[in-house]
Amino acid sequence: MTADFNGLANLAETLYADGFLRIGDGEFSVAAGPFTLHFASLPGNPAMVLIRARVLGMEDVRRAEDFAKAVVAGNFFWGGTRGATLSIGEDGGLYITERRMADELASADGLESCVDEFAETAGDWLERSGLYV
């Protein structure tokens, strides 16, 4: 099955009608618990989808430097990231980002599984931040 991003957006709108927002051509978001997951098509690579969510603001972590070290270790060893990447954004927020094959997300089961797993991973890092207060 070859998925296209517009078809993926339409599927997401059907499955997540209350938490769906079409941001523009090639981008939409889905609410998943306390997180907003942003989906974007990758220019030049229509087979890939970029998924990103803001986990928390680093200003909310009292021992931010120690937590940042845990984030770096998570990236280096893929510890607790399920292959996603953690980063600190220009706004001081901790973000989790992942690339997935569009075909993985082309079915209701595939998209729901992705949303659930991604939100669970973001939730794990939100919970881990509580260790650095």
Tell me the pLDDT tens digit for each residue of 30-74: 999 999 999 999 988 888 999 999 999 999 899 999 998 888 888
Please check whether residue 50 is in contact with residue 26, taking contact to mean a CB–CB distance below 8 angstroms: no
What is the b/e burial string over 75-94, where b = at least 16 CB atoms within 10 angstroms of the residue's CB?
eeeeebbeebebeeeeeebb
Calculate what percentage of the chain has a pLDDT beyond 70: 98
Q: Which percentage of the chain shows pLDDT scores above 90?
A: 74
Average pLDDT over residues 83-97: 92
CATH level 3 topology of 5-132: Yope Regulator; Chain: A, (3.30.1460)
In this prediction, residues 4-13 reach a mean pLDDT of 94
The residue ranking higher by pLDDT, 65 or 79, is 65
Contact between 65 and 74 under an 8 Å Cβ cutoff? The reply is no
Helix (H, G, I), strand (E, B) or coil at 96: strand
